[in-house]
């Protein structure tokens, strides 16, 4: 597990009597404190904390709702219910997970991007490839970018290619290829795994303006208006 996103959730009970509500999260393991629990009085809001685990930075958490158990105060749980997260709250979870997944003491950003010639091997006629130059600033001598290709077969395709960066005086760069498709709406920025040796992968969202512009031009999307809702930067 890469980290935890802690949410502060305000709950208000419509029950006619007091009830005890407990969050259903990653509790009940020896290394984690018990889940937060609160007694709710009718109509009186209280804040309950919920932990969302970031298990894999390559697949950030995207909960659609939160789960709770409810019962009488100091009694056994009697029922389970879920409260939906609106899009703004879901976005807050995503942003917090991104922060938890940033590689320590290392900066990774896209500094150039260009459209590659059409790949005849691509089955999807709307598919494109963008060569993205990534600049790395790190105290480490070697940084791996992109997915781990070890388990993949020779003909496997990933949305991002793999590259190794060897830094000199703390700086280095490499080119990765981002394969995506052009549709009526913009795709979200790609999530680039970042590895240091055998440690679990961190991840950086490549939302830099230079890549956003190249992607918009390649797919004939309005820049920057059509990209902003997906979290791209404009510049």
CA dihedral 158, 62, 191, 117 (to 10 degrees): 50
> Which residues, in sequence order, are bridge partners of residue 71?
20
Write down the H helix ranges in 60-196.
87-101
Q: Tell me how far CA of residue 207 lies from CA of 106, 176, 187, 212, 230, in angstroms.
A: 17, 15, 11, 7, 9
- Here the tokens at position 205 are 């969202």
Q: Domain coordinates of the chain in residue numbers?
A: 3-101, 107-230
Phi first, then psi, for residue 12 (nearest 5°) are: -130, 130
Phi first, then psi, for residue 173 (nearest 5°) are: -155, 160
What kind of architecture, by CATH, is found in domain 3-101? Sandwich (2.60)
Per-residue pLDDT of the chain (235 residues; tens, 9 = 90+): 677 888 999 999 999 999 999 988 775 454 456 788 999 999 999 999 998 888 888 887 888 899 999 999 988 889 999 999 998 898 889 889 988 899 999 999 999 999 998 765 555 667 899 999 999 999 999 999 998 766 544 445 678 999 999 999 999 999 999 999 998 889 999 999 999 988 878 999 999 999 999 999 999 999 999 999 888 988 7
Give the SS3 label for residue 96. Answer: helix
Q: Which residue has the tokens 């949305």?
A: 159
Instruction: Judge whether 3-101 and 107-230 match in fold.
Output: yes
CATH of domain 107-230: 2.60.40
- Here the tokens at position 35 are 């889940």
């Amino acid at each position: 597990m890469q980290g935890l996103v802690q949410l502060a959730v305000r709950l208000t009970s419509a029950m006619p009597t007091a009830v005890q509500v407990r969050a259903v999260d990653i509790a009940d393991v020896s290394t984690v404190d018990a889940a937060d629990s609160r007694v709710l009085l009718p109509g009186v809001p209280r804040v309950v904390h919920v932990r969302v685990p970031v298990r894999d930075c390559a697949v950030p958490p995207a909960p659609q709702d939160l789960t709770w158990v409810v019962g009488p105060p100091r009694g056994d749980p009697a029922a389970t219910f879920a409260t939906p997260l609106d899009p703004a709250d879901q976005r807050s979870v995503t942003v917090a997970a991104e922060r938890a997944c940033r590689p320590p003491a290392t900066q990774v950003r896209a500094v150039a991007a260009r459209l590659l010639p059409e790949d005849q091997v691509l089955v999807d006629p709307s598919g494109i490839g963008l060569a993205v130059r990534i600049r790395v600033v790190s105290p480490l001598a070697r940084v791996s970018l992109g997915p781990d290709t070890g388990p993949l077969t020779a003909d496997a395709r990933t949305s991002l290619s793999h590259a190794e960066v060897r830094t000199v005086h703390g700086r280095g760069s490499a080119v990765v290829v981002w394969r995506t498709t052009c549709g009526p709406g913009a795709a979200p920025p790609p999530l680039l795994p970042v590895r240091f040796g055998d440690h679990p992968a961190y991840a950086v969202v490549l939302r830099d303006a230079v890549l956003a512009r190249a992607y918009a031009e390649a797919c004939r999307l309005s820049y920057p208006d059509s990209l902003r809702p997906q979290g791209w930067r404009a510049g």
